[in-house]
């Protein structure tokens, strides 16, 4: 769960910084949001790749554990 929060906060920080820089250059409204989303997505893809991999592994292992618990409960119920 921690890796998910770190990745999300990193994405939000990059988005906010990008939006701030674009606002300083005069972008406003919908254009500001669209450009900030596009640019921050590209920057996040490069800068947060390791964090994204750790988050993906954490989510996958959590889902596997949940699937295993479900299968054990289903087996107990059938028995």
Provide the domain limits for residue 48: 2-78
Judged against a pLDDT cut of 80, whether residue 79 lies above it is answered with no
pLDDT score, position 74: 79
What is the number of structural domains in the chain? 1
**Own/partner pairs, 52-56, CB within 8 angstroms, 24+ separation:** 52/7, 54/3, 54/7, 55/3, 55/4, 55/6, 55/7
Rounded-to-integer distance, Cα 41 and Cα 46, Å: 9
Each residue of 5-15: pLDDT tens digit?
999 999 999 99
Predicted TM-score (pTM) of the model is: 0.76
66 DSSP 8-state letter: H
Each residue of 31-67: pLDDT tens digit?
999 999 999 999 999 999 999 999 999 889 888 888 8
Q: What angle do CA 72, 75, 79 make, to 5 degrees?
A: 140
């Amino acid at each position: 769960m921690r890796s998910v929060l770190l990745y999300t906060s990193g994405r939000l920080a990059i988005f906010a910084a990008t939006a701030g820089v674009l606002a300083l250059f005069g972008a406003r409204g919908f254009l500001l949001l669209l450009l900030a989303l596009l640019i921050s997505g590209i920057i996040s893809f490069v800068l947060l790749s390791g964090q994204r991999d750790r988050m993906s592994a954490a989510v996958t292992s959590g889902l596997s554990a949940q699937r295993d618990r479900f299968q054990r409960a289903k087996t107990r119920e059938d028995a």
